[in-house]
Amino acid sequence: MKMPWTKVETDGPAVQTDDTSETDVDVDDPTSGSSRAYTEGKGRPTPKRRDAERKRRGPVAPAPQTRAEARARRKERRSTMSKQEKRELSNERRNQRADQRERMMAGEEKYLMPRDQGPVRRYVRDLVDSRRNLAGLFIPMAIVLILIMFVPSIAQYATVVMLVFAIFLAIDGVILGRMVNKRVRERFPDSTDGGFKLGWYAFNRAMMLRRMRAPRPQVSPGDAV
């Protein structure tokens, strides 16, 4: 009797054929030769976008030569950042500026403005801060005179008071400038910093209120310098 799974051959007995005789390949077996082979993990975390971008940038470009070039580079860099990265960069710069200002106010030479740098300028600041100057009343007196101008009954006296105060202010400035130049020549005989320029530097500092002076005063009034 001929069965559905048998094949009739003319030269011999029927041969049974079974589709299950072939060996199945386990697609999940990493050792099998199938094209659908098992893929192993990377064994490392996926890098952040910022780190990947840094690697793709290649060698570091030279430092900018002008401020315009520096601004252009900052603008180009910010155009490729996400909002979170821009926020982090802004906070970092804000903290950096605050730290630099605090170091400048403390008198650290590296962070001072060019006009304040050097041992001579530091010595002049100490001389001014250790002395009670008439020029220190300039800002309070100016505010009082401005308020007086709005009172018609005494406004006519404001101009006279201002002229008298300006005369005393000029006298105090001359005395301060001569004293500063004399002390600097004694302490720093080889220094070329002096004359009217140094006296004007001292006078400008003396006119500022003590709490508004930058760098911050390092001596108290009456201290020996």
CB 157 within 8 A of CB 145: no
CA–CA separation, 205 vs 21, rounded Å? 102
Task: Determine which helix (DSSP H) or strand (DSSP E) holds 202, and give its type and residue range.
Answer: helix 196-207
CA–CA separation, 152 vs 83, rounded Å? 57
Q: Give mean pLDDT in consecutive 10-residue pieces for the chain, a chain of 225 residues.
A: 55 47 46 50 64 59 76 76 80 90 92 93 95 89 86 82 90 94 94 92 94 93 88
CA–CA separation, 133 vs 208, rounded Å? 10
Eight-state DSSP code of residue 211: G
CB 173 within 8 A of CB 203: yes
Supply the pLDDT for residue 41: 53
Residue of 78, 80, 77 lying closest to 49 (CA atoms): 80
Eight-state DSSP code of residue 109: G
